[in-house]
Amino acid sequence: MKKTIALTGGPSGGKTTALSILKEAFGQKVELVKEAATLIYSGGYPRKDNSPRHTFHGQRIIYFVSKELEALAQETSNANVIVCDRGTLDGAVYWPYGVEDFLKEMNTTKENEFKRYDLVIHLSPPMDKSFYQETSVRTETLEKALEVDQKILDIWQGHPNRVVIERTADYFEKAKIIKNLVAQIVNSQE
């Protein structure tokens, strides 16, 4: 069975930069699974963060697209290590009706979501506003991003193999740490 890693954390934590560096470093030894939320929102789904019904349906779509993208990678990739841009449990943080309702709606449990990933790597966003940028997909202010980051830290607490990479302005420093963690898993799969 292929090892699966989730890169998680608040907006602008460095996940995209880390994924690029991992692909460059490991090539075909890793399969990258894109973030479903970016695909959904950049593909035209109406993002209305102040609308619980839009958020409800959006997070359902993101959850199931994430699961399908991960399943496709497991079934079709020749790589032994799958690296996901976000984990399926991240959606519970954005769910308008609470974590327990999210789990019930998705017909899952926190433990089942934990089992999906052999390693969870959490990257926190920088504290400095000069390193944080809102985009058409990343609509949170830095203050909201830090709040989301804390909720993501909380939701993944208890995962048996979680690494939290502390806040730093240097995305490349974070990427180096991630590269070393992934190298250990890639080497163990060879």
- Res 29: pLDDT: 95
pLDDT by residue, tens only, the chain of 190 residues: 799 999 999 887 778 888 888 999 999 999 999 999 889 988 888 777 778 888 899 999 999 999 999 999 999 999 999 999 999 999 999 999 999 999 999 999 999 999 999 999 999 887 665 555 555 555 667 678 888 899 999 999 999 999 999 876 567 778 788 899 999 999 998 7
Tell me, what's the pLDDT at 137? Answer: 53
What CA dihedral angle connects 156, 158, 163 and 166, to 10 degrees?
70
- Domains of the chain in sequence order: 3-189 (3.40.50.300)
Q: Which amino acid is at 170?
A: D
Q: Which two tokens stand for residue 122?
A: 């959490």
φ, ψ at 84 (rounded to 5°): -105, 135
- What does the pLDDT read at residue 133? 56
pLDDT, residue 135, reads 52
pTM of the model: 0.89
CA 148, CA 123: separation in Å to the nearest integer? 12
- Separation CA 63–CA 41 (nearest Å): 13
* CA–CA dist 89, 70 (Å, integer): 13
- Beta strands 119-123; 81-85: pairing state: unpaired
> Is 45 in a helix, a strand, or coil?
coil
Q: Which helix (H) or strand (E) holds 123?
A: strand 119-123
pLDDT for res 158: 97
pLDDT recorded at residue 128: 61
Grouping H, G, I as helix, E, B as strand and the rest as coil, residue 144 is helix
Check residue 18 and give its pLDDT. 86
Q: What is the dihedral of CA 111, 94, 2, 16, to 10 degrees?
A: -150
Looking at residue 134, what is its pLDDT?
53
